[in-house]
């Protein structure tokens, strides 16, 4: 029996990585594609819904697939320092893989706008964490500049190897279902993930005839440059992961959505949060707010009659674990009820 060795090993012949790449892996990927029949019913029923639960990657988000590739290539090329700007998940992932490779990691995050579990991760893995007095977009601009000026490897998704590694999620979905689903819905922030899925599905289709999905990319209404058609100077959303106003791969995302016969839409924070709750309550899958955006978009399109999924298979990519952002959920209730350890009081509270 061969042991699972991570996405670079599993899909080595499919990935374009530089010669000399030295695999640095945490055995990322191979995440479950979980059927979600109860949620499908709630959205109107009559179709198959699957959750690609990317929050089960080693650092709790989908970023690990691209990061294993970027860090492995960086090590092969003799890098000593890696840098990224991040709304949190990229930072935690870069920090973990850099630690494993023995590299120095520097991560820049927008001040006060990074969820607790992500910041804690970046610190725990030993990265140098800097808060930028500005947005993610401001931070990205200066890390790109510094990586052009100094021998520091940029590991944001502008790095082509991030896209290579990230493609493996599309391969896994095709391997599991036998073909591509009819629809793939996912959140869109800096637009690396949707770009990578499209590249992955196309590559697999060309090689194995697995077909192509329609892509439904979903932004938060307060941070929806690809829907508005222009950059957003001050993006705002409760889904801080996708609080991005100038997506680095925005053009590619729009092209991917169009080529696929799909689209990019926006949903309100309210819809994102209620979908986060519904998914957890109906299927037992707790994701961070941004990760519920794809499903919130799907629900919106079905409810308004803009998307017909009858008898089709839909995969929703849930990009990050709920544990990344505990504060959001704790706000749902004021405070848990407190009782003395007495069975009669417990019976009373439970109305038994």
Residues of this chain that bind ligand AN7 (CB under 6 A): 61, 86-90, 157, 187-193, 241-242, 288, 290-291, 319-320
CB of 86 to ligand AN7, least distance (A): 3
CB of 55 to ligand AN7, least distance (A): 8
Which CB sits closer to ligand AN7, 49 or 317?
Answer: 317
CB of 331 to ligand AN7, least distance (A): 18
Cα(25)–Cα(332) distance, integer angstroms: 37
CB of 35 to ligand AN7, least distance (A): 22
CB of 62 to ligand AN7, least distance (A): 7
Cα(158)–Cα(146) distance, integer angstroms: 14
CB of 165 to ligand AN7, least distance (A): 12
Which CB sits closer to ligand AN7, 103 or 185?
Answer: 185
Cα(327)–Cα(323) distance, integer angstroms: 9
Two structure tokens written together for 197: 């899925």
Which CB sits closer to ligand AN7, 187 or 225?
Answer: 187
CB of 320 to ligand AN7, least distance (A): 3
Which CB sits closer to ligand AN7, 31 or 61?
Answer: 61
Closest alpha carbon to 7 in 156, 200, 157: 200
Cα(317)–Cα(50) distance, integer angstroms: 9
* Edge-to-edge strand ranges of the sheet holding 313-318: 33-35, 48-53, 313-318, 183-187, 214-220, 263-267
Which CB sits closer to ligand AN7, 47 or 183?
Answer: 183
Two structure tokens written together for 94: 């870069």
Two structure tokens written together for 238: 């409760």
Closest alpha carbon to 197 in 114, 294, 131: 294
Which CB sits closer to ligand AN7, 101 or 107?
Answer: 107
Which CB sits closer to ligand AN7, 17 or 318?
Answer: 318
Partnered with residue 185 across adjacent β-strands are 216, 316
CB of 321 to ligand AN7, least distance (A): 9
Which CB sits closer to ligand AN7, 193 or 237?
Answer: 193
Give the contacts of 342 (CB within 8 A, at least 6 positions apart).
Answer: none
């Amino acid at each position: 029996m061969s042991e699972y060795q991570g996405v670079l090993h599993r899909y080595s012949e499919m990935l374009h990585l530089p010669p000399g790449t030295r695999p640095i892996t945490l055995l990322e990927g191979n995440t479950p594609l979980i059927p979600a029949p109860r949620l499908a019913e709630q959205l109107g029923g009559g179709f198959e819904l699957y959750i690609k639960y990317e929050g089960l990657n080693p650092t709790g988000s989908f970023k690990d697939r691209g990061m294993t590739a970027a860090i492995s290539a960086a090590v092969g090329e003799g890098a000593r320092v890696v840098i990224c700007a991040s709304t949190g998940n990229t930072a935690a992932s870069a920090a973990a893989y850099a630690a494993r490779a023995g590299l120095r990691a520097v991560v820049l995050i927008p001040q006060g706008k990074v969820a607790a579990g992500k910041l804690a991760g970046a610190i725990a893995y030993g990265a140098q964490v800097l808060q930028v007095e500005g947005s993610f977009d401001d931070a990205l601009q200066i890390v790109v500049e510094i990586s052009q000026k100094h021998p520091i490897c940029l590991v944001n998704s502008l790095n082509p190897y991030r896209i290579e590694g990230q493609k493996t999620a599309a391969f896994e979905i095709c391997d599991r279902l036998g073909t591509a689903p009819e629809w793939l819905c996912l959140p869109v922030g800096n637009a690396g993930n949707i770009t990578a899925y499209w590249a992955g599905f196309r590559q697999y289709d060309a090689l194995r005839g697995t077909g192509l999905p329609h892509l439904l990319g979903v932004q938060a209404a307060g941070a929806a440059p690809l829907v508005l058609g222009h950059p957003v100077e001050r993006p705002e959303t409760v889904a801080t992961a996708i609080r991005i106003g100038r997506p680095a791969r925005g053009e590619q995302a729009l092209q991917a959505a169009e080529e696929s016969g799909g689209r990019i839409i926006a949903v309100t924070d309210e819809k994102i949060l209620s979908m986060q709750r519904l998914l957890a309550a109906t299927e037992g899958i707790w994701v961070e707010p941004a990760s519920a955006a794809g499903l919130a978009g799907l629900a919106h399109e079905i409810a308004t009659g803009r998307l017909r999924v009858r008898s089709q298979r839909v995969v929703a990519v849930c990009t990050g674990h709920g544990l990344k952002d505990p504060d959001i959920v704790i706000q749902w209730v004021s405070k848990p009820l407190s009782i003395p350890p007495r069975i009669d009081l417990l019976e009373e509270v439970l109305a038994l």
